């Protein structure tokens, strides 16, 4: 009898302790809303004409890219890794709301993510969800994901129909186009139940066309394999910035 | 009598019953039934650890049967005329018999010779240029190639979702109603991945269960001295890419491995093929230029005619006498695995072939 009492009180203490530890670290749902821009203007597919660095006008017909493995770093230097894969498609509004579940409460100072897909998931065989090859972001002949697709039209392009198309992928050296994006915030962002927990990720198409390599549509209108791919990857490396939204959605 | 009075009804019902019985025979022919035992992965004695392990694609009889159905079904092509088996014929060890380059949809011709299918799980990459990194994603190439099956993966999934028989087969295989490209590709992989050939006369000879003629024995000795550097036993390939000395075909302008890596030293190199069942997979080389093994021997034994970029190890071969050539060929024919070629697991249960 004594033994049973002892055991049950021990269990009770254990249960209380466990429930405390669960309460201690609350977790939130964090939304990252993606907005694609061209310079200062919001990207509009097909209808709006923009200009590149060389003054060549262009429209964008298709813009898709993978964002994966988002990692948040808090002000104490602690990292919170998520095993996440998102395919952002300008034409699909739902794809521009990235949801991260179970983000621990805290104050975060930077975020790191991958533009593209890690080499493991490039070699994983048949996959589903955003990694399903039916999404048109998979190369079969040289297996691996297309990390970013930017397609459009420019009178400067000498391709049939004056189109340009940049399909950038490749996870193997020397044609590795995976780029780690590291964004440190000016002010750290708190994540807790009182915050809106919505961040805005801004991607600028014009950055894909400049620095370090200025893209001339008349000279380079098509990149669909490893030729010139890393040049564009080095360009898209700095196309992102992130801000905090101060209102509840 | 009622039946006699309505003799048309009578004939019709006999016909209906016959058709029903015949149909169920075709669908559930016990001869082609696959059991759990049939899909056990057995690594043959002396074979290394495979690259593809089925770790994320649990082998099961129902998934295998789904894969078999897909492999033999022209539904997967753009106009329902070409199946995987159109170019991967079982009697040719799943190569394309007597075709240097295969014709796909609308009579269009591809640019490479179809490889036989065998021991695929021991390959680190697929295709002559090694561009494919996982067996599961290999079928996307022939399915979407405009000169092969000219279909989209998306539309294949759509067709499967709207086909009663496949709805039933996917359900049986995966125990729910989801049909997607991942499952379709994984099922195909179970079917092709289990195509293991390791019961040829060569294997039996190595195990001390068969004997070789003198010519075959001499052929093996010559083979080990001059060919086995690249065609390494027991898989008869070292999975590398090499220029085997044949001069590039100026019409095909096929860069080989370099098209994948973009590296100059890979120009005109192609994956060393395994040689099992080689007797059945004619014609030979990545462009199918040699019709028979004699022509292959003549090429390798004639260093003066090698392409300038030929792999250095080829120079080990040197001259071969006609007798030596015929002995090597005699040995190569011991690699024919009739148990594999007539394995009922890999036959088309609908007997369309």
Q: List domains and CATH numbers for chain B.
A: 37-197 (1.10.760.10), 201-336 (1.10.760.10)
User: In chain B, which residues have their Cβ closer than 8 Å to the Cβ of A123?
Assistant: 133-134
Q: Does A219 touch chain B (CB under 8 A)?
A: no
Taking an 8 Å Cβ-Cβ cutoff, which residues of chain B contact chain A?
A: 56-57, 127, 131-137, 140-141, 144, 152-154, 157, 180-186, 189, 259-260, 262
User: In chain A, which residues have their Cβ closer than 8 Å to the Cβ of B157?
Assistant: 134
Partner-chain contact A126 B185, CB within 8 Å:
yes
> B246 with B311: CB under 8 angstroms?
no
- Structural domains in chain A (count): 1
Whether residue A182 has pLDDT greater than 80: yes
Q: What share of chain B is helix, strand, coil (3-state, %, to 5)?
A: 45, 5, 50
Tell me how far apart the alpha carbons of residues B69 and B190 are, in angstroms, rounded to a whole number: 12
**A1 domain residue, yes or no:** no
Helical H runs in B28-152? 61-71, 84-87, 140-144
Q: Does A119 touch chain B (CB under 8 A)?
A: no
Instruction: Render pLDDT for B68-120 as a digit per residue (tens, 0 to 9).
Output: 999 999 999 999 999 999 999 999 999 998 888 888 888 889 889 999 999 99
Q: Does A142 touch chain B (CB under 8 A)?
A: yes
**A20 domain residue, yes or no:** no
User: In chain A, which residues have their Cβ closer than 8 Å to the Cβ of B254?
Assistant: none
Please give the residue range of the domain that contains residue A87.
26-244
**A19 domain residue, yes or no:** no
> Which of A122, A123, A140 lies closest to B140 in CB terms?
A140
pLDDT at position A243 is: 87
Q: Does A123 touch chain B (CB under 8 A)?
A: yes
Partner-chain contact A134 B189, CB within 8 Å:
no
Instruction: Render pLDDT for B94-108 as a digit per residue (tens, 0 to 9).
Output: 999 888 888 888 888
Tokens at residue B353, please? 């072939």
Partner-chain contact A124 B134, CB within 8 Å:
yes
Instruction: Render pLDDT for B128-168 as a digit per residue (tens, 0 to 9).
Output: 999 999 999 999 999 999 999 999 999 999 999 999 999 99
pTM of the model: 0.89
| Sign of torsion over alpha carbons A214, A219, A224, A229 | negative
Question: Chain-wide mean pLDDT for chain A?
Answer: 91
- Collapse the DSSP code of A34 into the 3-class scheme (helix H, G, I; strand E, B; otherwise coil) and give the result: strand
**A14 domain residue, yes or no:** no
**A110 domain residue, yes or no:** yes
In 3D space, the residue among B113, B145, B111 whose CA is nearest the CA of residue B251 turns out to be B111
Tell me how far apart the alpha carbons of residues B317 and B169 are, in angstroms, rounded to a whole number: 52
> B345 with B284: CB under 8 angstroms?
no
pLDDT at position A249 is: 43
Residue A42 CA, distance from chain mean position: 18
* Segment (H or E) for B219: helix B214-226
Nearest chain B Cα distance for residue A224, angstroms: 12
Nearest chain B residue to A124, by CA: B134
Tokens at residue A37, please? 């821009």
Chains A and B form CB pairs within 8 A to the count of: 66
Strand pairing category for A144-153 and A57-74: antiparallel
Instruction: Render pLDDT for B201-212 as a digit per residue (tens, 0 to 9).
Output: 999 999 999 999
Nearest chain B Cα distance for residue A88, angstroms: 19
In sequence order, the 6+-apart residues with CB closer than 8 A to the CB of B166 are B66, B69, B160, B179
Partner-chain contact B134 A142, CB within 8 Å:
no
Please report, for residues A62, A135, B6, B11, B174, the alpha-carbon distance to residue B14 in angstroms, rounded to integers and kept in the order given.
60, 50, 13, 5, 37
């Amino acid at each position: 009898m004594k033994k049973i009492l002892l055991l049950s009180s021990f269990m009770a203490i254990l249960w209380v302790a466990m429930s405390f530890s669960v309460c201690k670290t609350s977790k939130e749902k964090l939304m990252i809303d993606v907005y694609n821009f061209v310079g200062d203007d919001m990207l509009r597919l097909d209808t709006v004409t923009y200009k590149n660095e060389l003054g060549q006008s262009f429209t964008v017909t298709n813009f898709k890219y993978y964002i994966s493995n988002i990692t948040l770093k808090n002000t104490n230097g602690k990292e919170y890794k998520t095993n996440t894969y998102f395919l952002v498609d300008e034409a699909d509004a739902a794809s521009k709301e990235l949801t991260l579940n179970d983000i621990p409460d805290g104050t975060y100072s930077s975020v790191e993510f991958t533009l593209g897909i890690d080499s493991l998931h490039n070699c994983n065989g048949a996959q589903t969800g955003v990694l399903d090859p039916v999404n048109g972001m998979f190369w079969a002949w040289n297996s691996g994901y297309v990390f970013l697709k930017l397609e459009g039209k420019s009178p400067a392009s000498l391709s049939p129909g004056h189109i340009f198309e940049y399909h950038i992928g490749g996870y193997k050296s020397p044609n590795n186009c995976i780029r780690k994006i590291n964004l440190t915030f000016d002010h750290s962002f708190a994540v807790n139940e009182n915050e809106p927990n919505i961040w805005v990720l801004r991607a600028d198409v014009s950055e894909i066309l400049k620095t370090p390599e200025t893209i001339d549509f008349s000279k380079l209108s098509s990149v669909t394999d490893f030729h010139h791919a890393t040049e564009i990857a080095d360009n898209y490396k700095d196309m992102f910035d992130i801000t905090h939204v101060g209102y509840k959605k | 009598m009622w039946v006699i009075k309505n003799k048309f009804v009578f004939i019709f019902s006999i016909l209906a019953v016959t058709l029903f019985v015949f149909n169920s025979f075709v669908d559930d022919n016990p001869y082609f039934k696959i059991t759990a035992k049939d899909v056990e992965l057995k690594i043959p004695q002396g074979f290394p650890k495979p690259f593809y392990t089925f770790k994320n694609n649990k082998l099961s009889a129902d998934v295998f049967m789904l894969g078999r159905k897909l492999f033999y079904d022209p539904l997967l092509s753009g106009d329902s005329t070409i199946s995987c088996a159109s170019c991967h014929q079982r009697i040719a060890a799943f190569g394309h018999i007597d075709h240097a380059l295969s014709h796909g949809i609308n009579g269009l011709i591809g640019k490479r010779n179809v490889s036989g299918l065998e021991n695929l799980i021991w390959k680190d990459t697929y295709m002559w240029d090694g561009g494919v990194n996982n067996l599961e994603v290999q079928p996307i190439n022939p399915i979407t190639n405009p000169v092969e099956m000219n279909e989209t993966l998306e539309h294949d999934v759509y067709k499967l979702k709207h086909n009663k028989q496949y709805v039933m087969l996917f359900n049986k295989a995966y125990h729910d109603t989801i049909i997607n490209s991942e499952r379709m590709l994984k099922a195909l992989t179970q079917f092709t991945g289990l195509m293991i050939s390791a019961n040829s006369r060569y294997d039996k000879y190595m195990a001390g269960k068969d004997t070789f003629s003198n010519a075959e024995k001499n052929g093996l000795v010559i083979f080990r001295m001059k060919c086995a550097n690249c065609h390494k036993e027991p898989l008869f390939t070292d999975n590398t890419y090499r220029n085997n000395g044949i001069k590039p075909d100026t019409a095909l302008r096929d860069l080989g491995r370099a098209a994948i890596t973009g590296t100059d030293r890979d120009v005109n190199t192609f994956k060393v093929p395994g040689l099992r069942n080689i007797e059945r997979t004619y014609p030979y080389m990545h462009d199918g230029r040699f019709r028979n093994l004699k022509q292959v021997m003549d090429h390798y034994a004639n260093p003066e005619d090698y392409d300038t970029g030929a792999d250095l190890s080829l120079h080990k071969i040197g001259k071969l006498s006609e007798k030596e050539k015929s002995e090597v060929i005699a040995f190569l024919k011991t690699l024919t695995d009739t148990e594999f070629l007539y394995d009922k697991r890999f036959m088309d249960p609908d007997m369309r072939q």
